[in-house]
Amino acid sequence: MMDEILMRYLDAGQVVVSNLLLYNYRDLGLDESEFILILQLLSRDQQGKTVDLNEISQAMHLQDSQLGEVLRGLLEKKILRLVTKTDAAGKKYDKYDLSLLYAKLFKFQNELQEKQVAKQAQTDAKSVYQGIEVEFGRPLSPMELQTIDLWLNTEKYPPELILLALKEAVLNQVYNLKYIDRILLSWEKQNIKTSADVLRNQQKRRHAFENTERPKERGNRAKPSIPMYDWSKDD
């Protein structure tokens, strides 16, 4: 008995539906009846079957008039469209096209991603303002806020890069934005754009420092963990 049921289950086939649609159909403006109808259409399309609305209405336990209302709703929402196709024998037939649904789903995902990117950008920018205020030990002046806004929105410096420049300034015990700006300009000239670029630059400076230090001096004093660089003398 179980073997027979399993064979029926396998013979019935399966409908493939993206999780993007499964998880977001409500955000696309679909209700449950509309979503189930889409699954019914997808099932027949993937099996290469002709759409039989009477068969679908029976499967969904809907009267023909009720199914017609659901179908009209999908057409009005521009989720579905009816197109005319021609088979191999030259006979014309109607087909329900779901390409509008996919286009709407992709648009929704793009807009969602853009919102997430914008939200992350706001979070990163906030960390820059707060990080500088914490290190400076005081609120930022309107002019300083304008300078930071220029870095973020005009110069397009990545927030992580600004925070690293802040760290360099603090290590040199300099607490003003002009000094940080010189660091950022120097990095820009050297095509330093990421934290990985900064790390490589620091390693390069450390290596140069160690190679130029005299052997005697090298033995008499400990090596600094981070080389100090006077950014005010950078051209």
Instruction: Please determine, for residue 123, whether its predicted confidence score (pLDDT) is greater than 70.
Output: yes
Q: Distance between CA atoms of 9 and 186, rounded to whole angstroms?
A: 67
Q: How far is CA 103 from CA 21, 25, 31, 53, in A?
A: 11, 13, 18, 25
Q: Considering only residues 87 and 176, tell me which one the structure prediction assigns the higher pLDDT.
A: 176
Q: Distance between CA atoms of 199 and 211, rounded to whole angstroms?
A: 18
In the predicted model, what is the mean pLDDT of residues 103-122? Answer: 93
Residue 106 maps to a domain:
no
Domain of 149, in residue numbers: 116-233
Residues 172 and 224 in one domain: yes
* CATH number, domain containing residue 185: 1.10.10.630
Q: Distance between CA atoms of 196 and 1, rounded to whole angstroms?
A: 63
Residues 68 and 137 in one domain: no
Length, in residues, of the chain: 235
Residue 154 maps to a domain:
yes
Residues 152 and 188 in one domain: yes
Report the relative pairing of strands 92-97 and 81-86 from DSSP bridges: antiparallel
Residues 151 and 90 in one domain: no
Q: What is the pTM of this model?
A: 0.63
Residue 27 maps to a domain:
yes
Span 2-22, pLDDT tens digits: 666 656 655 566 788 889 999
Taken in order 106, 109, 113, 114, the sign of the CA dihedral is positive
Residues 50 and 15 in one domain: yes
Residue 45 maps to a domain:
yes
- Give the count of domains, the chain: 2
Residues 77 and 128 in one domain: no
Q: Distance between CA atoms of 154 and 147, rounded to whole angstroms?
A: 10
Q: Distance between CA atoms of 106 and 93, rounded to whole angstroms?
A: 28
pLDDT band per the 50, 70, 90 thresholds, residue 227: very low
For residue 83, list its beta bridge partners: 95
Residues 92 and 8 in one domain: yes
Angle made by CA atoms 210, 165, 200, in degrees to the nearest 5: 40
Taken in order 217, 220, 225, 229, the sign of the CA dihedral is negative
Residues 190 and 148 in one domain: yes
Q: How far is CA 220 from CA 94, 216, 217, 223, in A?
A: 89, 6, 5, 10
- pLDDT given for residue 28 in this prediction: 93
Instruction: Please determine, for residue 187, whether its predicted confidence score (pLDDT) is greater than 80.
Output: yes
Residue 55 maps to a domain:
yes
Closest CA to 211 of 197, 198, 223, 228: 223
Instruction: Please determine, for residue 143, whether its predicted confidence score (pLDDT) is greater than 90.
Output: yes
Share of the chain above pLDDT 90, in %: 63
169 neighbors 183 (Cβ within 8 angstroms): yes
99 neighbors 83 (Cβ within 8 angstroms): no
* CATH number, domain containing residue 68: 1.10.10.10
Q: Distance between CA atoms of 62 and 58, rounded to whole angstroms?
A: 6
Q: Out of 49, 67, 97, pick the residue that ends a domain.
A: 97
Instruction: Please determine, for residue 220, whether its predicted confidence score (pLDDT) is greater than 90.
Output: no
- pLDDT given for residue 75 in this prediction: 94
Q: Considering only residues 200 and 149, tell me which one the structure prediction assigns the higher pLDDT.
A: 149
Instruction: Please determine, for residue 197, whether its predicted confidence score (pLDDT) is greater than 70.
Output: yes
16 neighbors 46 (Cβ within 8 angstroms): yes
